């Protein structure tokens, strides 16, 4: 376990998947990250790389070769290196290997950089292409926040407030793929009330979210969080069936559509990174 700590907060991580497993308010003695109860969902905040979501038939074609990848890719299940650590920042790194190239024929360096702030934590995904050819990838966040955080509350006491959206256009999922069907959820005062039934048909997937800041709050007390993100064209909100958490998921990439032809370069949302170039995106959570 690797930790970062200041007067107000303590964050903990593991090398497997460079996963954030705890973000705790020391002053309020409250844990904001889902505890990973395997009865519902055994993860906390996995990184999605080199794909986001599922591939059609769990496979893709690149340069006339067929490769298989599981949903959300492989990085979340691999051991990262502890690249560096300071008082308020830790860097975990995963590099391409003989093993990764069995499923993904690219050279890459993926770094997760966590920086502890006065009242929160930022997570930066940095991808570097060390080769002399293009690197094709997707990357996304999947942090799960406990709901409720404090005792005496229920899931239905919580709501999500969007800073810009009056409604949500949801792209429906069919067999883990993006279908042609869309649904519009009208928000009252830019607010979505949480209920378990929202996720009975899988995640709420959005291609046109305007907001770059989402607040998770409740109707009973003043504890909650602000979740900020920039430069992610897709966003997902998800929880396992009847589980007491909510995932806020900024994505650069999306699951295949039901009509996708299987060619990686034609995949919606794929990022193409030129030789020797680097790319990064960040999200931040501030707790209160």
> pLDDT digits over 95-106, tens only?
999 999 999 999
For residue 132, name the pLDDT band (cuts at 50, 70, 90): very high
What's the DSSP call for residue 74?
S
Token code pair at residue 275: 């030789």
What residue spans define the domains of the chain? 2-287
Can you tell me the distance from the alpha carbon of 51 to that of 58, in angstroms, rounded to the nearest whole number?
11
Specify which residues 235 forms β-bridges with.
Answer: 206, 250
What's the DSSP call for residue 80?
P
pLDDT of 176 above 90: yes
Query: Under DSSP, is residue 155 helix (H, G, I), strand (E, B) or coil?
Result: helix
Can you tell me the distance from the alpha carbon of 99 to that of 88, in angstroms, rounded to the nearest whole number?
32
Q: What is the pLDDT of residues 15-32, one digit of tens each?
A: 999 999 999 999 999 999
pLDDT at 224: 97
The phi and psi torsions of 102 (rounded to 5 degrees) equal -65, -30
Q: What is the pLDDT of residues 229-276, one digit of tens each?
A: 999 999 999 999 999 999 999 999 999 999 999 999 999 999 999 999
Token code pair at residue 119: 């009242």
pLDDT averaged over every residue in the chain = 97
In sequence order, the 6+-apart residues with CB closer than 8 A to the CB of 26 are: 5, 7, 8, 9, 10
pLDDT of 150 above 90: no
Query: Does 3.50.50.60 match the CATH number of domain 2-287?
Result: no
DSSP conformation letters of 159-219: EEEESS-SEEEEEEEETTEEEEEEEEEEPBTTEEE--GGGGTTS-EEES----SEEEEEES
pLDDT at 221: 95
For residue 151, name the pLDDT band (cuts at 50, 70, 90): confident
Residue owning tokens 């069907």: 181
Can you tell me the distance from the alpha carbon of 119 to that of 230, in angstroms, rounded to the nearest whole number?
19
Cis check for the bond before 254: say yes or no (omega within 30 of 0). Answer: no
Instruction: Check if the beta carbon of residue 126 is closer than 8 Å to that of residue 150.
Output: no
C-alpha triplet 135, 53, 13: angle, nearest 5°: 80
Query: Under DSSP, is residue 124 helix (H, G, I), strand (E, B) or coil?
Result: strand
Can you tell me the distance from the alpha carbon of 113 to that of 282, in angstroms, rounded to the nearest whole number?
9
% pLDDT > 70, the chain: 100
For the segment 274-281, the average pLDDT, to the nearest whole number, is 98
Nearest to 146 by CA among 34, 8, 270, 279: 34
Q: What is the pLDDT of residues 192-225, one digit of tens each?
A: 999 999 999 999 999 999 999 999 999 999 999 9
- Would you give the end-to-end CA distance of the chain in angstroms? 25
Nearest to 229 by CA among 203, 253, 248, 208: 248
What's the DSSP call for residue 287?
E
């Amino acid at each position: 376990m690797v930790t970062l700590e200041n007067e107000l907060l303590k964050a903990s991580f593991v090398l497997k998947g460079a996963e954030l497993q705890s973000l705790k308010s020391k002053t309020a003695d409250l844990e904001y990250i889902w505890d990973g109860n395997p009865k519902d969902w055994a993860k906390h905040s996995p990184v999605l790389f080199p794909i986001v979501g599922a591939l059609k038939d769990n496979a893709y074609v690149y340069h006339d070769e067929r490769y298989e990848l599981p949903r959300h890719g492989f990085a979340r299940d691999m051991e990262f290196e502890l690249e560096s650590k300071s008082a308020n920042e830790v860097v975990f790194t995963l590099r391409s290997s003989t093993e990764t190239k069995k499923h993904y024929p690219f050279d890459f360096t993926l770094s997760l950089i966590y920086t502890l702030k006065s009242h929160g934590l930022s997570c930066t995904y940095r991808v570097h292409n060390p080769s002399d050819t293009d690197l094709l990838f997707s990357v996304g966040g999947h942090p799960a926040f406990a709901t409720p955080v404090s005792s005496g509350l229920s899931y239905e006491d919580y709501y999500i407030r969007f800073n810009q959206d009056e409604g949500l256009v949801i792209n429906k999922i069919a067999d883990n793929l993006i279908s042609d069907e869309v649904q519009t959820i009208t928000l009252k005062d830019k607010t979505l009330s949480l209920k378990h039934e929202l996720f009975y048909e899988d995640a709420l997937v959005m291609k046109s979210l305007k907001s770059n800041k989402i607040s998770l709050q409740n109707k009973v007390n003043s504890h909650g969080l602000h979740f900020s993100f920039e430069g992610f064209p897709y966003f997902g909100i998800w929880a396992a069936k009847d589980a007491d958490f909510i995932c806020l998921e900024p994505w650069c990439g999306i699951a295949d559509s039901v009509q996708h032809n299987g060619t990686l370069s034609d995949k919606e949302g794929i990022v193409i990174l030129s030789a020797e170039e680097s790319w990064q995106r960040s999200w931040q959570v501030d707790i209160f």
